[in-house]
């Protein structure tokens, strides 16, 4: 059985390097392409040698998705139009790990999902996606009797806040309580206004080299429930993304997430 050829968009970044390794080492996949910006000085460098493992025969290059079995994109929102155009043109499933997309970009993603399978998740960790189920169950049981606060920690280089994972967790809580996140989210606090019933608070901490830590607190009179996930290596996200790519390769056009991939829905 032939291996699935996976292309990695944003190959020179931290996650890109992990994704290259995951695609090269998984028994059912192989690296089909490793893509960087046109101004990158790394163009022409062997992807395997770039990350310090065996030579891959695939050099870092500008985007060309022809011949791939799946694409994984953990780059930046600015690349979305080109990635969607190539994936739709060549009928290539897409695993989208870029966070901080605008409403317009999310609309483009949904439109493209009419033509190809797209996995769109703020986090590809198995543990995080299991925690979403725990959060939804807790929120359904406690309802508005619990005040919900989300505290997330990431490295100082992270651009978007709150994180995509924090937003996923908040949506799981809001939907389980019959709310919409747009009407309940409070991002940090200042001033003299008191907390409103049903608010979901976000607090983003940035510093050092923290991979990613998320805690959701359900605060009640007399007790607090905390559900926490800590990522110790970016490799767990890369492994999950490759798993998603393998799953997406067998799916019809549509917009999916990691809950679909893991069979948790």
CB 36 within 8 A of CB 100: no
Q: Is 55 one of the annotated binding-site residues? A: yes
Query: Which two structure tokens, joined as six digits, stand for 100?
Result: 């901080």
Q: Is 124 one of the annotated binding-site residues? A: yes
Q: Is 48 one of the annotated binding-site residues? A: no
Q: Is 165 one of the annotated binding-site residues? A: yes
Q: Is 12 one of the annotated binding-site residues? A: yes
Nearest to 60 by CA among 78, 40, 88: 40
- Cis status, amide bond into 172, omega within 30 of 0: no
Q: Is 123 one of the annotated binding-site residues? A: yes
**Secondary structure (H, E, C), the chain:** CCCEEEEEECCCCHHHHHHHHHHHHCCCEEEEEEECCCCCCCCCCEHHHHCCCCCCCCEEECCCCCCCCEEEECCCHHHHHHHHHHHHHCCCCEEECCCCCCHHHHHHHHHHCCCCEEEECCCCCHHHHHHHHHHHHHHHHHHHHCEEEEEEEECCCCCCCCCHHHHHHHHHHHHHCCCCHHHHEEECCCCCCCCCCCCEEEEEEECCCCCEEEEEEEEECCEEEEEEEEECCCHHHHHHHHHHHHHHCCCCCEEECHHHHCCCC
Q: Is 32 one of the annotated binding-site residues? A: no
Q: Is 11 one of the annotated binding-site residues? A: yes
Q: Is 140 one of the annotated binding-site residues? A: no
Q: Is 15 one of the annotated binding-site residues? A: yes
Measured at the CA of 219, the angle between CA 214 and CA 223, to 5 degrees, comes to 115
Q: Please give the positions annotated as active site.
A: 154, 158
Q: Is 99 one of the annotated binding-site residues? A: yes
Q: Is 7 one of the annotated binding-site residues? A: no
Q: Is 230 one of the annotated binding-site residues? A: no
Q: Is 57 one of the annotated binding-site residues? A: no
Binding residues for NAD(+): 10-15, 54, 97-99, 121-124
Residues annotated in a binding site for (S)-2,3,4,5-tetrahydrodipicolinate: 155, 164-165
Q: Which residues are annotated as a binding site?
A: 10-15, 54-55, 97-99, 121-124, 155, 164-165
Q: Which residues are annotated as a binding site for NADP(+)?
A: 55
């Amino acid at each position: 059985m032939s291996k699935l050829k996976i292309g990695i968009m944003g190959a020179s970044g931290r996650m890109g390097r992990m994704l290259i390794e995951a695609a090269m080492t998984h028994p059912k996949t192989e690296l089909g392409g490793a893509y960087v910006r046109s101004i990158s000085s790394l163009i022409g460098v062997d992807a395997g040698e770039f990350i310090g493992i065996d030579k891959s025969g695939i050099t870092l290059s500008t985007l060309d998705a022809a011949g791939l079995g799946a694409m994984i994109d953990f780059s930046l929102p600015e690349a979305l139009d080109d990635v969607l155009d190539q994936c739709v043109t060549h009928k290539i499933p897409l695993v989208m790990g870029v966070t901080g997309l605008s409403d317009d970009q999310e609309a483009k993603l949904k439109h493209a999902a009419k033509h190809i399978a797209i996995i769109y998740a703020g986090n590809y960790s198995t543990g995080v996606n299991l925690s979403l189920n725990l959060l939804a169950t807790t929120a359904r049981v406690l309802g508005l009797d619990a005040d919900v606060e989300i505290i997330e920690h990431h490295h100082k280089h992270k651009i978007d806040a709150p994180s995509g994972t924090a937003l996923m967790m908040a949506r799981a809580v809001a939907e389980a309580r019959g709310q919409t996140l747009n009407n309940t989210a409070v991002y940090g606090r200042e001033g003299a206004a008191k907390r409103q019933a049903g608010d979901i608070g976000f607090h983003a901490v940035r510093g050092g080299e923290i991979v990613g830590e998320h805690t959701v607190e359900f605060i009640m009179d007399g007790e607090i429930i905390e559900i926490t996930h800590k990522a110790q290596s970016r490799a767990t996200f890369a492994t999950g993304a490759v798993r998603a790519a393998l799953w997406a390769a067998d799916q019809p056009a549509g917009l999916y997430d990691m809950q679909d991939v893991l069979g948790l829905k």
